[in-house]
Amino acid sequence: MTRWEPNARGRLEEAALELFGERGFEQTTVEDIAKRAGLTKRTFFRYFGDKREVLFAGGEEFQGLFVTGLASAPASAKPMEAVAVTLEAVSAWFRGRHDRARQRQRIIVANAELQERELVKLASVAAVLAGALRDRGVAEPAASVTAETAIALFRNAFERWVAEDGERELADVVRESLDTLRAVTATG
């Protein structure tokens, strides 16, 4: 018999982030996480395949933010304008989540394996975004150049945002990165 536990998923996430931060990712076991959350290992495995998944479970949702964000850009928008709309939408999701993002980032940066996983995640988002741009009629190489630049910009803005105190919204930092790109690429 399984007892229903209110907000088990959220409690496990919170416990995992706390423990990864305190002891390090390697040094934390699934048992530790379940215990801190006041739940069983069995409950943990109902929500996550392993402890790494606690940090990456939102990957598909994250990727989806880019696709739906791009879909919300007017059909007439040029590639980089469409990307600006996309990044705006993705950034909106992070509103009110600065502390959590900062906590997660600190854990990722401290562990080479997690950093690799994060880079792979972003590379696959870039590939999906390039495909979505092609579907909008953007030709190659514009689609892949735009998508990979967009992800580079997002990564840049995100890293700067989590390093800040959270006074600015991610959207503001993204806009700054985009404006900077426009300034440095402008010729003449």
Chain positions contacting a copy of itself, by CB under 8 A: 78-80, 112, 115-117, 119-120, 123, 141-142, 144-146, 148-149, 151-153, 155-156, 159-160, 176-177, 180-187
Tell me the closest approach of the beta carbon of residue 178 to a copy of itself, in angstroms.
9
Tell me the closest approach of the beta carbon of residue 145 to a copy of itself, in angstroms.
5
**Residue number with CB closer to a copy of itself (36 or 160):** 160
Tell me the closest approach of the beta carbon of residue 112 to a copy of itself, in angstroms.
8
Q: Which residue has the tokens 């967009």?
A: 150
Q: Which residues contact 63 (CB under 8 A, 6 or more apart)?
A: 124, 125, 128
Angle at 53 between CA 129 and CA 29, to 5 degrees: 160
**Residue number with CB closer to a copy of itself (43 or 63):** 63
The CA distances from residue 140 to 22, 110, 130, 131, 186, in Å, are: 46, 37, 9, 10, 21
**Residue number with CB closer to a copy of itself (92 or 123):** 123
Tell me the closest approach of the beta carbon of residue 107 to a copy of itself, in angstroms.
17
What gap in Å lies between CA 114 and CA 5, rounded to an integer? 29
Residue 112 buriedness (CB in 10 A; 0-12 / 13-18 / 19+): exposed
**Residue number with CB closer to a copy of itself (19 or 55):** 55
**Residue number with CB closer to a copy of itself (16 or 83):** 83
Answer for the pair 86, 73: CB distance below 8 angstroms, yes or no.
Answer: yes
What gap in Å lies between CA 139 and CA 129, rounded to an integer? 13
Tell me the closest approach of the beta carbon of residue 157 to a copy of itself, in angstroms.
8
